[in-house]
Amino acid sequence: MRARVIMGCRDRARAERAAREIRAEVVEDEGGGGGELVVRELDLASLRSVRAFCHRVLQEEPRLDVLINNAGIFQCPYMKTEDGFEMQFGVNHLGHFLLTNLLLGLLKNSAPSRVVVVSSKLYKYGEINFEDLNSERSYNKSFCYSRSKLANILFARELARRLEGTGVTVNSLHPGIVRTNLGRYVNIPLLAKPLFNLVSWAFFKTPLEGAQTTIYLASSPDVEGVSGKYFGDCKEEELLPKAMDDLIARKLWDISEVMVGLLK
């Protein structure tokens, strides 16, 4: 589509390597290429990094047509972000919450524009416990991942509500189980690894397949004007009632604003 694409990445060296591969592939496919790909440092585990990234985007970019919130950390041991948040909630929800809010003005000025939020089917096992959002009383790495993914959906729904009539749409999605290094913290016994590898090659999606719903929501004319919905395999899907609870969504928004420093 000859877009200017900004890759916001935590690891500069790995990002540059990926960008080189993408540029080479595009030139090969298109016989001369088109569009533009730039790498910018962005660590969602650091509010300072998020603010610096957004500051640069707002200085350099005249418009922003699509924002894809795609960073994620999965079932890690208990760790905290630079700002003292539980890592999965901090990266998967709060980092994206601040990023999106800081870029909202540019998205509105660029309307019609889109926000795409990558969640997970595992949201079904999560609950928003306002008494222990930082998991300091108890920590279960699976539950905390699911909670962060439920938070993604609630955030997308509340943002869609707030942006009604602005020309900015917001939708969330689950990509399916994809063969990436997202599961680097998951311990698989040595003897089971050959079987796991076989199963993953047989049943997991490739990264390209896993990206299809994201690409669809970012670029398809089919979803023009569609907002506040949840998708899987490029189709709208039903959500559990807890992911459509507007009171919880608003309360989570209000608390998140304070946590990331948008409100004192």
Q: Which residues are catalytic?
A: 145
Query: Residues 101, 263: contact at Cβ < 8 Å?
Result: no
3-state secondary structure of 172: strand
- Residue of 49, 38, 50 whose CA lies nearest to 5: 38
Residues 117, 211 contacting (CB under 8 angstroms): no
Neighbours of 57 (CB within 10 A): 19
Cβ atoms 44, 95 nearer than 8 A = yes
How far apart CA 220 and CA 212 sit, in angstroms, is 11
Hey, how many other C-beta atoms are within 10 angstroms of the C-beta on 264? 5
Place of tokens 């350099």: 60
Q: How far is CA 62 from CA 1, 39, 97, 99, 107, in A?
A: 18, 17, 22, 17, 10
Residue pair 230/119 in contact (Cβ under 8 Å)? The answer is: yes
Dist CA 209 CA 31 (whole Å): 24
